[in-house]
């Protein structure tokens, strides 16, 4: 079991219970391959954590890269898709 900290709330959870955002080759990828190297950040599957991560530019600081504005919409879609499962 590998634990990671949520960027939005700071709670440590199992890696499988979090959304992984990775910066690879000048692209930001959601739930990328765990075998690919690159800077990563993790978020809980809830709206408040996603909002907090963007509100305080935490993703940008952790990934040390520009974060596209449409990423927030993609993350909210990922949240909706996960609730349907």
Closest by CA position to 84, among listed 52, 55, 45: 45
CATH code for the domain defined by 3-84: 3.30.1230.10
List the domain boundaries for the chain: 3-84
pLDDT tens-place string over residues 35-76: 777 789 999 999 999 999 998 899 999 999 999 889 999 888
**Residue 39 vs residues 6, 11, 13, 47, 85: alpha-carbon distances, Å:** 14, 19, 18, 22, 28
pLDDT tens-place string over residues 1-35: 789 999 999 999 999 899 999 998 888 888 866 67
Distance (Å, rounded) from C-alpha 78 to C-alpha 74?
Answer: 6
């Amino acid at each position: 079991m590998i634990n990671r900290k949520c960027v939005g709330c700071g709670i440590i959870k199992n890696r499988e219970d979090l959304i992984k955002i990775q910066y690879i080759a000048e692209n930001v990828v959601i739930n990328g391959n765990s075998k690919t190297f690159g800077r990563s950040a993790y978020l809980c599957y809830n709206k408040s954590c996603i909002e907090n991560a963007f509100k305080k530019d935490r993703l940008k600081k952790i990934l040390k890269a520009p974060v596209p504005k449409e990423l927030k919409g993609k993350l909210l879609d990922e949240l909706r898709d996960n609730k349907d499962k």
